[in-house]
């Protein structure tokens, strides 16, 4: 691993805060593996309302909290919490807000229905991560985004934060998984991002913000792609092929750390 590499992991789920699955497990162990190889890492995820704060020992970081983010002309307070993963020297930062993350669920309700405001929650999360990293004055070399809830981080980095010294010199990696959601997010998503200073022509892909279009949107604004599952949707795999960007094929569920380390190293050369 390149000496002093700084890697920001933007995740929608991490074990032990959400149940084990391929994505949550990778987002738990990959950062630790890179840290053990000499990288400096930060992990961010939403503070979903189903996370037990007492059991997981989350606490608010007052010096990072309190900023207001405006989404669709409405103010939403940004609250930052942090916890340490037991048995690892790894901290996780949580993006919290009363309007978006207090309900006792993730992106689906108890009946499995996707929330109507998931597009605003994703926008708030992306903005919240980047504003907090700025406050930390920690300049990452690599920003690694995992799955659809993180899909607008790349466009923020390329179109809104690109002149900020903290984010000026980095590579954006997007991991694709075979974990689509049904239907589409709110079609007003593109209009809400337009208010953020992103141009209309940059948003054509998410006129219909379904899973496939969101991931194509993320790939378009990324510098490299990881196949996070052995079977990626054929149209997404085709999109990756034509994008002409560095690709890490699915490295397997075990002993993947060297493959990721080599991939990161090549990007930073």
Spatial CB neighbours of 190, under 8 Å, sequence gap ≥ 6: 200, 203, 206, 207, 209
Q: What is the pLDDT of residues 63-104, one digit of tens each?
A: 999 899 988 889 999 999 999 997 888 999 999 999 999 999
| Sign of the C-alpha dihedral computed for residues 88, 93, 21 and 146 taken in this order | negative
Tell how strand 90-96 and strand 68-71 pair up. Answer: unpaired
Using the 8-state DSSP alphabet, how is residue 144 labeled? E
Confidence of residue 1 (pLDDT cuts 50, 70, 90): low
* 251 SS3 class: coil
pLDDT attached to residue 38: 95
Calculate mean pLDDT across residues 31-52. 96
Whole-angstrom Cα distance, residue 91 to residue 70? 28
The pLDDT value given to residue 88? 84
91 DSSP assignment: E
CB atoms within 10 A of CB 127: 23
pTM reported for the whole predicted model: 0.97
Considering only residues 195 and 210, tell me which one the structure prediction assigns the higher pLDDT.
210
Phi, psi dihedral angles at 247 (to 5 degrees): -130, 135
Q: Does the structure show a pLDDT above 80 at 3?
A: no
- What share of the chain has pLDDT > 70, as a percent? 99
Which pLDDT does position 254 carry in this prediction?
87
Give the per-residue pLDDT at 137.
96
With cut-offs at 50, 70 and 90, classify the pLDDT of residue 253.
confident
**pLDDT surpasses 90 at 47:** yes
pLDDT averaged over every residue in the chain? 94
Q: What is the pLDDT of residues 107-123, one digit of tens each?
A: 998 888 899 999 999 99
Residue 196 has pLDDT above 90, yes or no: no
Q: What contacts 114, CB < 8 A, 6 or more positions away?
A: 107, 108, 181, 182, 183, 185
Size of the chain in residues: 269
């Amino acid at each position: 691993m390149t000496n002093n590499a700084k890697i920001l992991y933007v995740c929608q789920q991490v074990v032990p805060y959400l149940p084990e699955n391929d994505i949550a497990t990778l987002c738990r162990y990959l950062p630790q593996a890179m840290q053990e190889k000499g990288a400096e890492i930060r992990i961010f995820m939403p503070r979903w309302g189903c996370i037990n704060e007492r059991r997981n020992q989350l606490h608010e970081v007052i010096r990072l909290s309190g900023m207001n983010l405006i989404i669709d002309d409405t103010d939403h307070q940004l609250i930052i919490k942090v916890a340490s993963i037991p048995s690892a020297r790894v901290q996780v930062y949580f993006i919290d807000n009363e309007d978006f993350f207090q309900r006792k669920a993730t992106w689906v309700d108890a009946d499995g229905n996707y929330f109507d405001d998931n597009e605003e929650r994703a926008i708030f999360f992306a903005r919240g991560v980047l504003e907090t990293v700025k406050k930390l004055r920690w300049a990452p070399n690599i920003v690694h985004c995992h799955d659809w809830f993180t899909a607008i981080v790349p466009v923020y980095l390329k179109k809104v934060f690109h002149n900020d010294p903290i984010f000026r010199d980095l590579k954006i990696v997007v991991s694709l998984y075979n974990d689509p959601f049904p239907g589409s997010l709110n079609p007003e998503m593109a209009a809400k991002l337009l208010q953020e200073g992103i141009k209309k022509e940059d948003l054509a892909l998410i006129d219909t913000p379904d899973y496939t279009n969101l991931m194509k949107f993320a790939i378009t604004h990324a510098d490299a792609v990881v196949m996070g599952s052995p079977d990626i949707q054929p149209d997404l795999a085709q999109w990756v092929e034509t994008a002409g960007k560095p690709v890490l094929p699915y490295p397997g569920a075990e002993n993947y750390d060297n493959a990721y380390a080599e991939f990161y190293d090549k990007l930073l050369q």
